[in-house]
Structure 1
Amino acid sequence: MKRILLLLSFIISFGTVSAQGIGGAAPAGVTGRITGTIVDSITKTPIDYATIALGRAGTTRSTNGALTDEKGAFKIENIAAGSYRVTIAFLGYQTKIIDSVKTTAAKPDLNLGRILLAPNSKALGEVVVTGTTPIVENKIDKLVYNAEQDVAIAGGNATDVLRKVPLLSVDFEGNVSLRGSQNVKVLINGKPSGSMANNMADALKAIPADQIKNVEVITSPSAKYDAEGTSGIINIITKKNNLAGVSGSVNAGVGTRQNSGNLNLNAKTGRLAVTANGGGFYSWPQTSTISFKRASNNGTQVLSQTGKSESDRLAANGSIGADYDFNSFNSISSNLRLNGFNTKVDGSNINENTFGGAPVVFTRLSDNSIEMNGFDWSSDYLHKFKKKDQQISFAYQLSHSVQLNDYTTDFSNTVIDEYGDNDADNTENTIQVDYTHPFKKVTLETGVKGILRDIVSDNRTRNLNSTTGVFTPIAARTYIYDYNQDVYSAYATLGFTLAKKYGIRAGARYEATEIEGDARSAGTGVSPFSSSYYNLVPSFVISRTFKDYSSIKLSYNQRLQRPSLFYLNPFLNSADIFNQSQGNPSLKPELSHNIEFNYSMFVKTTVVNASVFYRRTNDIIESFILPTSVVDPTTGNTVSGSKTTYRNVGNNNSVGFNFFGQINPVKPLTLRGNFNVFTYDINTNSSVVVANTNSGVQMLYNGFLMGTYAFPKGLTFETFLITNSPRRTAQGRNPSFNMWNLGLKKEIMAKKGSIGLTVIDPFNENKNFRQNITGSDFTQTSNFSLPFRSFGMSFSYRFGKMTMQAPRKKRGVTNDDLKQEQQPTGNQ
């Protein structure tokens, strides 16, 4: 901690010294100032944030400048006597040039008075941005998918958008993978969200696709980012208008499987901007079926289940934020985001078990409920120095979430039922300082950060005698567990350009992690522990651009993956007594080494992006099934069941290739395709025993093909096909996934609104998801079938009359250091 405070003091001192020397020594002789006021030539209202550039008369090079304030006024200081050229520019207005502006030693101060700036002849009362940005951009450290350029995403949610992003794949439960790895961090506007750490799949479904501006896939994060996310970072940027006035949009979707809605409002006047939105989704109750069988290798024990379950999901989120610019150099912002979801699954299963040749048949009824509510509040202050691109920011974020996990199990052949409740409370405080200093040819970025996490897991498990109505607590599984994780970090990066063709960014990040965990009640079987580990993670990227709009990039970085609450929670869920689940608070973080070589090309409407990569992950965390002793509710005998938990199973080596391409064979038709192929080669730890059938190098793949045709009069048709191979683990194979979508969209109401129709898998009423697991002494197979074919209709409308304003600088807390939950497959 002392090292962090020392570095923080250095950064503040360095910024203070730099600020004192911003303008440099004043030139010899008398200097003056040039002032004036910029107003709209038609409305005669002041124009704030207009750019004033000053250069020597007869040249086009600018040597000084300023921005206008909210009254349209500007002031350029330290002007030596001479002749100058003043250029005034602002988006949506015609650029104005005033040449031969003269100051003298006798009259060093010059007031240009009121300067009229005329709107462009093509400017409209309402600003409409047309698609000049390519749908995919390749930058030095990330790939950007511009979702707002995709005309066929209306009515969907963030999951639908991510399925179209190169390098990514999303399975049927909403679990996101980057180049085949689910160890990825998802941010919203550069900030973490408690909902993502608790249940990423439902959190993504609550974000309407219409609100997403673009998606950044950061495969080579610089040292400025937290070291978390072994495969990379996904940053979802939502739409935010830099427009004066009041504007907004409303979006709604109704379908045979789920419904969604969202309202977005933006207001900006002068230096104050306020944004608010709220939305969510609800899935109609759907009935799924499952068949399950696990058999010991010697055949003495067979567990067999068939059954069905009814599930529904409800999710909602909302946010309100405000930004205020005190002047051109100081600004603050604050944002509050609320989120919540509820999932209920009610199941009925027929169990046909065999223990030592004796058959046992009974019916198990189960009710499961998972509810999460939370908020993320962030505030930050940004100070820009007079030197271009020099700035310092201070940010704070408080995140809090409460997750309730309850279940009830009723056995048909016994009067003893089981009730389980878990309340998990997660509080996270983050503070960070970032400083940027541009030198002549090199830009330095440095900063410090502290994250304090406090998790309290309150577990209550009890038996109910349905005859007497008496509850009996299970002492060993009724306790409160405290888990504290503190992360302190500091970083420094250097970025520069060589010969206008080569871009280089190099840096390192040091992170210190301190962990403590303990149960408050004795005799719980959960041992207290503490751990500390320290990591220095380097990053390096070099890129080279060519004249034909193509570029190549080589990068290396190390990444960490700390387990989040979902993986750590020691609550034992035994809704199915023979198939239990429990987190593991003793998990170690994953550490990965990543090397990537990338080529990208953009010519007119043709886009090509191809990469080869290597990733080695040490102490990889995977779901793991272990044998456990349970009491048969029918006979009272102790028999063997299973417990699904999480373990650091070993080291994985992955080599892969990715290709994305886009082409327009004819003007109205756009074809896009993405294909990933990669290996899974696990070397398990000595403490992890797996079957030989799961060893060796496994080849995996995923990809999509998409075609869009733009008809006249705002009518667009799209077809979209995705496929994912089965996902491998140390114990077996998880389900594959494929899907075919058809969509039609029509612009209405002078292009302010649209209506759409969507069809998903029209020829498959149900989909089957098969899993095969092989342990050291058992084999397990399951098939989960759920309704999949769906039809939906969407509507969107935007309103408001606005004028252009200057864009705002991205800032704030960016926690991306936790391994986030992946939605389980077919749980009941």
Structure 2
Amino acid sequence: MLFASLLSILFFQPILKGIVYDASHDHPVPYAWIALQSVDAATSSASIGRLSDSTGRFQIALPDTGMYRLHVEAIGYQSLDTLLHLLNDGTTDLGIIKLLPTAIALHEVKISGKRSTIENRVDKLIFHVNEITLLTATTSLDVLRKAPMVSLDEQGNLILRGRRNVKILVNGMPATLDMVRGLPPAIIQDIEIMTVPGASYDAEATGGVINIITRKRRFDGYEGNLSVVTGTRNRNSDYGYIAIRKGKWNINGSYTLNTLKNTGYNSIERSIFGKPFTENTNNTTQETYQFGNLAFIFQPGEHDEFGLSLNAYGYRFTRSAFSTYQNSFQPPYVLQIFTQHPTQEPGLYGSMDYTHHFANPANQLSFAILLNQLITLDHYAHTANSNGNASAWYASSDHTRFREMTFQSSLVHAINTKQKWETGVKWIIRNNRSLYTSEQYNPTQHIWLPDPSNSGTFRYNQDVIAAYAQYTLLQKSWQMQAGIRWEGTALHPEWTDTMDIGRFTSSLFPSIKLRIPVSSTQQFTWSYTQKIARPSTDYLNNYTDKMDLQHSYTGNSQLQNERLHDAELEYSLNTENIYLDASVYALWTTHPISSLTLASDSGQLQTSYVNLNKQHTEGISIYISFSVFHILQTSINGVCNYTRLQYHQLSHEGLTGNAGIDLSCRLPAHLLLNGDLNIQFKPLLLQGYGQPFRYNSLQLSRAFFHGKLRVFTLVENLGNRFTGRYTTTLQGADFQEHTVSDFRFTSWKIGLNYRLGQQNSTRRYRQKILNTDLKSK
């Protein structure tokens, strides 16, 4: 009955249809822009816009009968404006609408105006990736680094407003960080940021949601981009992509290859039970990352769209290290170890989706199926020499398989131009397996002997079932979005063949947002939501990592889920040249997960994971961007958090956060100068703290051939020889550990970028301006 009543609402709205024709040559005008604005006093701000199809036909569902202003236009034609009076429900056929060609040739048409880089809606903040951002980005992570409240740590992991557990989406579909790294930057159109996500997003998004929207061609033809970047220390970033539109088909393909080489030095000073111990290591690491994507979009009609995406990625990591261990125990000894550590991570990701748009384009029904599989082959081996004498070798390997299938469906219904509700269901099936073995080499017998104490199989199966409902109300003086999400989790982890700890939990997660505009450019938003963080396989796996002979790491299969409460008050200012976003927020977490390090009787450190008693965080974030005469573009990003952690008698509190500045300046002779500086503070640990890590870059580029070819030079991490230094200190009742890691991050790069085909972003830009102009009339 509910579905039947919904269909009656969807199909019994007033519908306006027609066909746009060339008045001089008597043929259809494809992709004309048709806009309707109500002139009724009660709904004078309401407007609806839509493109005609390739045959000039259009169909628009209206919220109600009444008087409307009709505006029709197309490139190369004179626009048409008229008034319509719709008296009855049902379909009104306008027949043929004829447009007169203009005397201006298409290549002479110039569009003036400026689309705001940032759009702040009640449910999200949208960062429209502008030309300068794309021109100065060599990887997709460079684009994300320029988005509001987004930063990256020293390993390239995304951080949103100081939090690391960020949910990543690509075109609304769940994605991995490896997939995002493989996206060509030129294909990114918008970045949607949800610091306090609503009920329509997974409850696992405790750190917020970032949704990357990629470009789609709207007209027949092709476009593409080729980029080649090479640099010192084998830092190369090459990619290419092509997008083709032909009739009802849209085909996109891309390939990315990134390589990176680092040399560095680690120094660890430990004191265990009052006895000092030092470890010095020289590291050489080599990383290679490849990503390929092929996507198809088929639109058989005006209302239906089918999508298929296939992705393959591979990651190879090789580490060679020479370590010297020295202590002052009795008797003292010096241990020299040569370590080989290769890792391979091949992965596959695929998705199929279908979307049906009803007569009102705001109403849609969608289905999607996703499959993600990642295999990790991790192996390391130690060759030891103790006090000048050869000693036993030690080797360990971990073969991990992660497989995830997702089934999801959602229904969006716009009751009218001011109200919308959305509902959906989701089912996630996760199968994880870790097969690990450890071996000790006997030099006398020249054989490898298994170590049963650190060998076994860990299986972790998880099913997540979710359903949600969300309602949005847009009034002139205030807007609101409220929702509720239910999620049930079935866990079935197994440790070898003797331990089975299956359990089922379920919870409700409310969310609400209230926005109050105080002027046409300023507004306040209050938000509250609840989220959940399920421990990952790395936290649960009881396998012991003994890569560091004096400090081992193991999981805890008894961990509970985290429950996060997030409240935020936000102020935003958006004018033609300035955007400001300032937020104050409070987060409190039940059963937060943290690492815990203890000293063993054998004189070694052992780290595992526990659920804390308390974790409270209060913070403030500020983002401001502005431009000066469209020549200088600047953005400043800052986050400061104060966190308190407590676990029984242990407690720790302190400040964390990040800060960054980005400047771009257009110079004469088609030159573009860009520089940025980012400082990332280490997260607060229960037993320690970390020193800040910084990244900076300076780029100069020049355009040729009307902007199709751009040549640039780039210097990363200017300054100290060891710009990539970061420091961590751990301290307990019986130990202290101070780690300093230095990496030679300074690199000089040169590259070129070439644009292929006809870029169609101008058309989208024009539609935005025309729609805005129509609303202001």
> TM over 0.5: same fold?
yes
Q: 2:704 aligned to 731, 745, 748, which one?
A: 748
Match of 1:373 in 2: 346
Match of 1:812 in 2: none
2:145 paired with 1:163: yes
Match of 1:311 in 2: 285
2:372 paired with 1:399: yes
Taking structure 1 as reference, are residues 726 and 427 closer, same or farther at Cα in structure 2, changes over 3 Å only?
A: closer
Retained in 2: the 8 A contact 1:395–1:432? yes
> Aligned partners of 1:130, 1:185: CA distance in 2, in Å?
37
Match of 2:661 in 1: 705
> Aligned partners of 1:233, 1:157: CA distance in 2, in Å?
20
Q: 1:528 aligned to 484, 500, 503, which one?
A: 500
- Residue 150 of structure 1 aligns to a residue whose secondary structure is helix
> Aligned partners of 1:129, 1:742: CA distance in 2, in Å?
32
- Residue 567 of structure 1 aligns to a residue whose secondary structure is helix
Alignment of 1:94-109 (within 5 A): 94-97=78-81
**Which segment is superposed worse, 362-371 or 439-448?**
439-448
Retained in 1: the 8 A contact 2:16–2:59? yes
Retained in 1: the 8 A contact 2:182–2:255? no
1:360-402 per-residue CA deviation (whole Å, 9 max, x = no partner) reads 2111111112221112211111122224522211111111111
> Aligned partners of 1:100, 1:547: CA distance in 2, in Å?
32
Letter in 2 for 1:490: A
Deviation at 1:418, TM superposition (A): 1.7
Q: 2:743 aligned to 786, 790, 799, which one?
A: 786
Retained in 2: the 8 A contact 1:278–1:318? yes
Match of 1:579 in 2: 551
Letter in 1 for 2:371: L
- Give the gaps of 5 or more residues in structure 1: 1-12, 27-31, 630-638, 808-828
- Residue 727 of structure 1 aligns to a residue whose secondary structure is coil
Match of 1:233 in 2: 209
- Residue 633 of structure 2 aligns to a residue whose secondary structure is strand
Retained in 1: the 8 A contact 2:162–2:657? yes
1:219-248 per-residue CA deviation (whole Å, 9 max, x = no partner) reads 121100011122311223333333321111
Retained in 1: the 8 A contact 2:60–2:360? no
Alignment of 1:240-319 (within 5 A): 240-257=216-233, 258-284=235-261, 286-296=262-272, 298-299=273-274, 301-319=275-293
Deviation at 1:266, TM superposition (A): 0.5
- Residue 669 of structure 2 aligns to a residue whose secondary structure is coil
Retained in 1: the 8 A contact 2:182–2:292? no
Taking structure 1 as reference, are residues 237 and 682 closer, same or farther at Cα in structure 2, changes over 3 Å only?
A: same
Taking structure 1 as reference, are residues 399 and 806 closer, same or farther at Cα in structure 2, changes over 3 Å only?
A: farther
Letter in 2 for 1:411: A
> Aligned partners of 1:430, 1:422: CA distance in 2, in Å?
26
2:165 paired with 1:183: yes
| Alignment TM-score, normalising by the size of structure 2 | 0.88
- Residue 333 of structure 2 aligns to a residue whose secondary structure is strand
2:689 paired with 1:733: yes
2:624 paired with 1:661: yes
> Aligned partners of 1:350, 1:332: CA distance in 2, in Å?
58
Letter in 2 for 1:710: R
Match of 1:19 in 2: 7
Letter in 2 for 1:279: T
Deviation at 1:662, TM superposition (A): 2.5
| More relative contact order, 1 or 2 (CA 8 Å, 6+ apart) | 1
Taking structure 1 as reference, are residues 529 and 563 closer, same or farther at Cα in structure 2, changes over 3 Å only?
A: same
- Residue 699 of structure 1 aligns to a residue whose secondary structure is strand
1:747-802 per-residue CA deviation (whole Å, 9 max, x = no partner) reads 21211121222122322121332211002321001111110221112211111136
Match of 1:408 in 2: 381
Letter in 2 for 1:377: G
- Residue 160 of structure 1 aligns to a residue whose secondary structure is helix
Alignment of 1:419-458 (within 5 A): 419-440=395-416, 441-458=418-435
Retained in 2: the 8 A contact 1:39–1:72? no
Alignment of 1:459-538 (within 5 A): 459-498=436-475, 500-521=476-497, 527-538=499-510
Q: 2:121 aligned to 133, 139, 155, which one?
A: 139
Match of 1:618 in 2: 590
Taking structure 1 as reference, are residues 600 and 408 closer, same or farther at Cα in structure 2, changes over 3 Å only?
A: same
Match of 2:771 in 1: none
Taking structure 1 as reference, are residues 154 and 567 closer, same or farther at Cα in structure 2, changes over 3 Å only?
A: farther
Deviation at 1:50, TM superposition (A): 5.5
Match of 2:107 in 1: 124
Deviation at 1:349, TM superposition (A): 0.4
Deviation at 1:65, TM superposition (A): 10
- Residue 225 of structure 1 aligns to a residue whose secondary structure is coil
1:580-635 per-residue CA deviation (whole Å, 9 max, x = no partner) reads 22333332222111111111112221222111111112222223323356xxxxxx
Match of 1:721 in 2: 677
Match of 1:680 in 2: 643
1:302-344 per-residue CA deviation (whole Å, 9 max, x = no partner) reads 3321120110111111211111122222221111122221111
> Aligned partners of 1:348, 1:375: CA distance in 2, in Å?
35
> Aligned partners of 1:237, 1:64: CA distance in 2, in Å?
22
Retained in 2: the 8 A contact 1:155–1:208? no
> Aligned partners of 1:287, 1:66: CA distance in 2, in Å?
55
Taking structure 1 as reference, are residues 340 and 358 closer, same or farther at Cα in structure 2, changes over 3 Å only?
A: same
Retained in 1: the 8 A contact 2:363–2:412? yes
> Aligned partners of 2:340, 2:23: CA distance in 1, in Å?
65
Deviation at 1:120, TM superposition (A): 9.2
Taking structure 1 as reference, are residues 575 and 677 closer, same or farther at Cα in structure 2, changes over 3 Å only?
A: closer
Letter in 2 for 1:655: E
1:350-369 per-residue CA deviation (whole Å, 9 max, x = no partner) reads 111344x3212111111112
1:274-307 per-residue CA deviation (whole Å, 9 max, x = no partner) reads 11111120013x32111112112x42x4332112
Match of 1:552 in 2: 524
Match of 1:607 in 2: 579
- Give the gaps of 5 or more residues in structure 2: 765-777
Match of 1:766 in 2: 722
Alignment RMSD (CA, Å): 3.6
Match of 1:775 in 2: 732
Retained in 1: the 8 A contact 2:438–2:454? yes
Deviation at 1:158, TM superposition (A): 3.0
> Aligned partners of 2:271, 2:83: CA distance in 1, in Å?
88
Retained in 1: the 8 A contact 2:32–2:72? no
Taking structure 1 as reference, are residues 380 and 716 closer, same or farther at Cα in structure 2, changes over 3 Å only?
A: same
Q: Percent identity?
A: 24
Q: 1:540 aligned to 512, 520, 533, which one?
A: 512
Q: 2:612 aligned to 634, 649, 655, which one?
A: 649
Taking structure 1 as reference, are residues 251 and 41 closer, same or farther at Cα in structure 2, changes over 3 Å only?
A: farther
2:188 paired with 1:216: no
> Aligned partners of 1:33, 1:742: CA distance in 2, in Å?
54
2:358 paired with 1:385: yes
> Aligned partners of 2:16, 2:180: CA distance in 1, in Å?
53
Deviation at 1:174, TM superposition (A): 1.7
- Residue 358 of structure 1 aligns to a residue whose secondary structure is coil
Alignment of 1:7-86 (within 5 A): 14-20=2-8, 22-24=10-12, 36=19, 38=21, 44=27, 47=30, 51=34, 68-73=52-57
1:87-146 per-residue CA deviation (whole Å, 9 max, x = no partner) reads 53457754335789999xxxx998845845647947439x99998233333222333333
Letter in 2 for 1:568: L
- Residue 476 of structure 1 aligns to a residue whose secondary structure is helix
Retained in 1: the 8 A contact 2:61–2:360? no
